[in-house]
Amino acid sequence: MINLKMKKVKSFFAIFFNSLLPQDRYYQKIVHSKFNYSLKYYLSFLSLINFVYITILVTAYLSPFKIINTVFDIKNRLQTYPPGLSMTLRNGNLTTTLDSPYFVWSDKRSNLFLVVDEFSAPQKIKEYQSQVMLTGKEIVFYDNKQITTYPYNNSLKIDVNQTSVQKLGRSLNIFLVTYPYLFFVLFILGYLIFNLISLGINFAMIAVASLLVLTIYKLLKKKFAFHKVLHIKKIIQIGLHAITLPIILDYIFSFSNFSRILPLTYLVLIIIFTFTGIYEAYFDHQ
């Protein structure tokens, strides 16, 4: 069983490396192979590269591990919430039970994240060097040496005390337990949807490119008196292999400083590689 799987893996990578750049030795073999042979490779290759692409994308931009660490950090800080501190927001006014400011540190007390000081003016945040400050009238943000204030909504009614903080802590515990499973389900669902759309779009691009290649060939056939008869199905079959490098280039560009390859440019690449594949399969060394 293991040997059979290893043979399939070796066979896949052999097809992959031979498909990267059209060459007569391999592309002549494609002409005599069944269409399903190339279709299986196309489905396997695109599904694999899409999985790698989505994994890198999610890890780079969504940072699931960073989310877990942030929630852990918040949960740990909730455990240090003062038992006697209560905060009440009514009619756009925040009141607390403490006479002195309350500080919430981040990164092992290296940075001050939040200050609760109901009697302070917004400019006080500069002295605190905090990222966020709650005063009696507004929430204040300090970023890039600029102060931004937002008054509380008069319709908001919020009560924060040890009981509500403990309830939030329990909710975070539930989140930490369920998040890995939820993330896994959403990741698989997102991958399946993305992969299905990608398979359809790329196959449509191959079909369009193949029609254009066939049209170009018929025009050249009259001029150069070619005798080979090309069928659209075989051109598409060759395109299923020839698209290998254009797809890789497209995904590499998306992770570089460039944007994704433009659809028209991508189509031109597919046409060039498919036409080269046709040449290697039918006309090389003739």
User: Predicted confidence band at 108 (pLDDT cuts at 50, 70, 90)?
Assistant: low
Q: How far apart are the first and last CA of the chain?
A: 43
Q: Highest mean pLDDT range out of 45-49, 75-79, 146-150, 212-216?
A: 45-49
> Given this model, what pLDDT does residue 29 score?
87
DSSP structural state of residue 141? E
Whether residue 71 has pLDDT greater than 90: no
> Given this model, what pLDDT does residue 236 score?
93
Whether residue 181 has pLDDT greater than 80: yes
pLDDT tens, position by position, 3-35: 666 777 888 888 889 888 888 788 888 888 899
| Rounded distance between C-alpha atoms, residue 260 and residue 53, angstroms | 13
Q: Answer for the pair 19, 280: CB distance below 8 angstroms, yes or no.
A: no
> Given this model, what pLDDT does residue 109 score?
60
Give residues with Cβ within 8 angstroms of 176, minimum separation 6.
68, 71, 72, 75
Q: What is the pTM of this model?
A: 0.71
pLDDT tens, position by position, 189-236: 999 999 999 999 999 999 999 999 888 888 877 666 566 777 889 999
Whether residue 177 has pLDDT greater than 70: yes
